Every structure is written in C-alpha cells, then in structure tokens.
C-alpha cells in the first residue's frame, strides 16, 4: 500500500520551524516530499495542521515489564532487582507474549516506531513473536549474567550465555519479518564477568550485531566493579576489555568519571539516557549535559516500566531535559531541538541505520503525525514543536507509520482491538499477581 500525506507541517529538527508539504510513501520508503504531489495508487491522508515528525526511537526497553508497573514502586534498587527476578520467574509463555505485545503497542500508541529491546532468556520465541505481531521496528537481544550481583542473579556458563545469543539470532532471522534485528545484550559488569563481556563482543562482531548493556547504573555496584578491576569505573573496564566501540549502547551511564566520558567520546559508543528510571529508583543523575557539550550523540530510553513506569518518549525526553537544566543551572542544555534529535536521529545512528530517524526522500518510512488542534493545553501555532516536548505527551500522536505500514490512525491502533487487548492483559496481570502472592 502507498500513502500520500497531504499538507502536513514537516518539522525541521534543527530549528524547530515547520513547512507545509506533502509526503509520498511508496512501499517501505519515503518516496517524495514536496507541494502538490499526487498519486493515484496511494491512499490519501489529510494532515492539514498536523506536525510530521520522524518516529521516536526508544534505545533501551524491557517490554515484558509492562506487566510489572506498580508492584515495585518506591523501593531501593537492590530489593527492587531481587523482587523483579521473583516476579519474572512466575511469568509463563502466554504472559511473556502479552506483556511484550502490550509494551510494543503502548510504544506505537505514543509515536515510538523503533525500540532497542533487552529481553529475557526465558521465552525468546514468544518475545520475538510479540514484537513481530506488533509490527514495531526493533533491535532485540536478551540479558545474560554470570556473576552473582545478588541472591537472585541467574548464573550462566559462557557457552550457555552464547547459546542464548545464538537462539536470539536464529529466532530473529526466522521470525523477525525483516523488521527485527538481533543484538547481544549482557546485563552489565556488576553481573557479567570480563570473560563473558569479551565473548559477547566477539559474538556481536562476528555477526555484525549491536552490543547493548547497562553501564554505571547503581553507585555501589559501580564502585564494586571499579575495585575489582583496579580502575575508576565500568566504562574504563569495558575499554580495557576491548568492548567499547561505535556499535555499543550504554544504558544509564550515570556513575562515570570525566575521563570515562572522554573514553565514550573517543570510542564512539552511545549512552542511553533513562531519566525516569534514574529518578524513580534513585540511581543518580548522569552527566548528560557534559556529554552533549562534548558532542556525544546521546540517545533516550524509557527502560522497563517496573522502574520508569513510563513508555512515552515525549515524557521521557522532557524529564531528561528538565533534570539536566536543573542540576546544571543552565536552561540552554538539552534544548527542545537537542531532545528531539536524541529521540530520533541519534537513536537511528546508534542502532546502525543510515536511512532512519529523519523524514527524507529515500529514507525508511517510519514517521508520525501529531495532532494538537483539539488540546486546550497545546494552543499556539508558532511554538508547537517545543510545546509538544515541554507540555505535550504521546497522546498528541494521531498517526504512526512503521516501514510504510499504517500502525495508528486517528489515535487508534490499526489491526488491534485495544479494548480486547486491555481486558486480556488485565486478566493476565491479575493471574501473575496471584502467582507472586501465593
Ligand atoms: Zn534496563
């Protein structure tokens, strides 16, 4: 199916100006941008007054946690992690499928067209099937661990861990429908030995995959790693292990020395800012402003809802921007244009795409239309783009295309009965809560 989007206000993400134009989508690509376009074989979408933006790219997610929003509120990170593993152990195949599906559908609803998912070694086929059924673009890997960070950490041998990464690759190749790419996603050095980290990186490089990991999230855990390696922190350790390079995404990146920020810049790795999690479970505040000033292309991630309670990239970006402004006493850091780049083009680059993250002829057709005309809180035609970031949220998103396919129209998911999905998920969440309490 081809689509002709008429009279949309195309956003320039550098200066936040807009220009009314038509956008023709042919197959999975943006074929043409210009005024007065016509195409007889295309379905026409009237986008008069709507903003056209690249789809958002969420660079750190744990989708199955969409069923664990609430039970782990307001507790310290160590206890949080132990209880998370306990709940996870009660999640069967059906729960994993629907929890992952729900997370993906929430993302689409809020304008996210691509995710970087760190899933679980349990139920890999169900997770891949859920992502594929949702029809969201994804890079998907599973978290592996071989060091007991706490009593609940699953301990794998290196061959066992690599077998899981191989299973991800095989499952994605067989069932990813061309929209999913595999990654290697060891949890993070507090729970991953140097040997496993190196083995994972070798596997990733052999297969041309992204290496996705947590970095410097908990202060105590980071100090433990630093002490064990005789270094200043986890980024120094990754550099020494030969893991750090431009194919590496580093979720959180909080507890870093200035030298480690320089290392990230030097090696070209991509930090993922997850501010809602950092604040809600009191991890700490990363030096994002400093990274941005050095020209590091920081990305944004909503993380898992067990920690962030959020799957809306607009709310995530706003939280991050306000946080950095507040701690630096500098309102110019992480301005609205920078936030928008972190939500789009930076994420595309981090995930290895050179034709994603912008609305441009020839690029993959992942784009959204935001309708702010009926929102009392979003009036002011001139400042719509910054208002979307600073006072809007994902509910403003009206239309979503992923790979040229219509996924959301008139603020409703296409191809899914939202009411049925919500009922089914509520029933399964009740079942999960009962199993955990039993
Ligand atoms: Zn995470």
Distance CA 82, CA 71 (A): 13
Asked: is 56-350 a CATH 3.40.50.10800 domain? The reply is: no
What pLDDT is stored for residue 231 in this prediction?
A: 97
Pinpoint the residues of the chain covered by CATH 3.20.20.140: 56-350
Q: What is the mean pLDDT of residues 53-78?
A: 96
Mean pLDDT of 139-153: 92
Identify how many contiguous H helices and E strands the chain contains and give both numbers.
Answer: 16, 18
Confidence of residue 165 (pLDDT cuts 50, 70, 90): very high
200 has pLDDT over 90: yes
CA 284, chain centre distance (Å): 20
DSSP string, 280-324: HTT-----HHHHHHTT---EE--EEHHHH----HHHHHHHHHHHH
How many Å lie between the centroid of ligand 1 and the Cα of residue 233? 18
In angstroms, what is the span from residue 131 Cα to ligand 1's centroid? 18
Task: Report CA(57)–ligand 1 centroid distance (Å).
Answer: 16
What is the CATH T-level fold of the domain 2-54+359-413, as seen in this structure? Urease, subunit C; domain 1 (2.30.40)
Single out the residue of 57, 22, 10, 38 nearest to residue 356, CA to CA.
Answer: 57
CA–centroid distance, 243 to ligand 1, in Å, is 19
Alpha-helix residue ranges (DSSP H) falling in 329-383: 336-343, 345-350
Asked whether the predicted pLDDT for residue 152 surpasses 90, the reply is: no
Ligand 1 centroid to Cα of residue 61, in Å, is: 6
C-alpha atoms less than 13 angstroms from C-alpha of 232 in its C-beta half-sphere: 11
Cα separation, 311 vs 350, in Å, equals: 20
Compute the distance from residue 379 Cα to the ligand 1 centre, in Å.
36
Distance between Cα 377 and ligand 1 center (Å) = 32
Report CA(77)–ligand 1 centroid distance (Å): 12
Mean pLDDT check: name the lowest of 73-77, 271-275, 391-395, 398-402.
73-77
How far does the centroid of ligand 1 lie from the alpha carbon of residue 148, in Å?
17
Q: Tell how far the Cα of 212 is from the centroid of ligand 1, in angstroms.
A: 10
What is the rounded average pLDDT for all residues in the chain? 96
Ligand 1 center to residue 207 CA distance, Å? 23
- The Cα–Cα gap between 333 and 291 comes to 10
CA pair distance 358, 350, nearest whole angstrom? 14
Cα(267) to centroid of ligand 1, in Å?
22
Give the model's confidence band at 209: pLDDT under 50 very low, under 70 low, under 90 confident, else very high. very high
CATH 2.30.40.10 residue ranges in the chain? 2-54+359-413
**How far does residue 214's CA lie from ligand 1's centre (Å)?**
6
Q: What percent of the chain has pLDDT over 90?
A: 93
What pLDDT score does 227 carry?
Answer: 97
What pLDDT digit, counting tens, does each position of 389-418 carry? 999 999 999 999 999 999 999 999 999 999
Q: Helix, strand or coil for residue 40?
A: coil
Asked if the model's pLDDT at residue 36 lies above 90, the reply is yes
How many percent of the chain have pLDDT more than 70? 100
Distance 218 CA to ligand 1 centre (A): 11
Euclidean distance between CA atoms 244 and 241, whole angstroms:
8
- Give the list of residues 6+ apart from residue 232 with CB closer than 8 angstroms, or none: 226, 257, 259, 260
- pLDDT of res. 377: 86
- For residue 376, pLDDT over 90 is answered with no
Distance (angstroms) between ligand 1 centre and the Cα of 304 equals 6
- Residues less than 5 Å from ion ligand 1, measured at CB: 303
Interval 326-345 mean pLDDT: 98
Distance 387 CA to ligand 1 centre (A): 29
Identify the sign of the CA torsion 44, 49, 52, 53.
negative
- What distance in angstroms lies between residue 4's CA and the mean position of ligand 1's atoms? 38
Q: What is the pLDDT of residues 282-310, one digit of tens each?
A: 999 999 999 999 999 999 999 999 999 99
Do 95 and 432 touch, CB atoms closer than 8 A?
yes
Q: What is the pLDDT of residue 17?
A: 96
Gap from CA of 336 to ligand 1 centroid (Å):
25
Q: What per-residue confidence (pLDDT) applies to 269?
A: 98
Query: Ligand 1 centre and the CA of 276: distance in Å?
Result: 12
**If you measure from the C-alpha of residue 371 to the centroid of ligand 1, how many angstroms do you get, rounded to a whole number?**
31
Q: Is the pLDDT of residue 201 over 90?
A: yes
Q: pLDDT tens across 343-370, in order?
A: 999 999 999 999 999 999 999 999 999 9
- Mean pLDDT, range 212-218, rounded to an integer: 97
Question: For residue 303, how far is its CA from the centre of ligand 1 (angstroms)?
Answer: 5
What distance in angstroms lies between residue 378's CA and the mean position of ligand 1's atoms?
32
Q: What is the whole-number distance in angstroms between the Cα of residue 409 and the centre of ligand 1?
A: 30
**DSSP-assigned beta bridge partners for residue 72:** none
Query: What mean pLDDT do residues 57-71 have?
Result: 97
């Amino acid at each position: 199916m081809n689509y002709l989007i008429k009279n949309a206000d195309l956003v320039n993400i550098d200066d936040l100006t807009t220009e009314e134009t038509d956008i023709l989508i042919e197959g999975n690509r943006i074929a043409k941008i210009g005024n007065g376009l016509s195409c007889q074989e295309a379905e026409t979408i009237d986008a008069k007054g709507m903003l056209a933006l690249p789809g958002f790219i969420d660079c750190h997610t744990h989708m199955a946690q969409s069923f664990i929003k609430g039970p782990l509120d307001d507790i310290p990170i160590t206890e949080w992690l132990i209880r998370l593993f306990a709940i996870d152990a009660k999640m069967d195949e059906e729960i994993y499928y629907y929890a992952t599906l729900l997370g993906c559908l929430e993302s689409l609803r809020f304008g996210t067209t691509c995710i970087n998912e760190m899933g679980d070694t349990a139920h890999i086929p169900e997770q891949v099937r859920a992502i594929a059924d949702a029809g969201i673009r994804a890079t998907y890997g599973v978290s592996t661990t071989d060091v007991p960070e706490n009593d609940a950490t699953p301990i794998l041998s290196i061959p066992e861990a690599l077998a899981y990464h191989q299973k991800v690759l095989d499952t994605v190749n067989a069932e990813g429908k061309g929209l999913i790419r595999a990654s290697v996603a060891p949890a993070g050095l507090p729970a991953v030995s140097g040997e496993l980290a190196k083995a994972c990186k070798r596997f990733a490089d052999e297969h041309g995959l992204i290496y996705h990991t947590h970095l410097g999230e908990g202060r105590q855990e980071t100090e433990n790693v630093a002490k064990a390696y005789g270094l200043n922190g986890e980024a120094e350790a990754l550099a020494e292990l030969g893991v750090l390079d431009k194919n590496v995404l580093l979720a959180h990146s909080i507890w870093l020395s200035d030298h480690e920020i320089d290392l990230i810049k030097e090696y070209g790795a991509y930090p993922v800012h997850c501010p809602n999690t950092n604040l809600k479970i009191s991890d700490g505040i990363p030096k994002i402003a400093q990274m941005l000033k050095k020209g590091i292309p920081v990305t944004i991630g909503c993380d898992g809802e067990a920690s962030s309670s959020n799957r809306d990239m607009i709310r995530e970006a706003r939280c991050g921007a306000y946080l950095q402004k507040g701690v630096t006493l500098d309102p110019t850091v992480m301005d609205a244009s920078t936030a928008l780049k972190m939500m789009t083009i930076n994420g595309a680059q981090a995930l290895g795409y050179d034709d994603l993250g912008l609305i441009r002829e020839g690029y993959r057709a992942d784009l959204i239309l935001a309708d702010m005309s009926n929102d009392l809180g979003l009036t002011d035609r001139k400042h719509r783009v910054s208002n979307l970031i600073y006072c809007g949220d994902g509910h403003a998103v009206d239309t979503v295309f992923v790979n040229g396919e219509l996924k959301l129209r008139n603020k409703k998911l296409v191809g899914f009965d939202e009411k049925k999905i919500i009922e089914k998920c509520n029933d399964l969440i009740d079942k999960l809560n009962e199993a955990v309490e039993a």
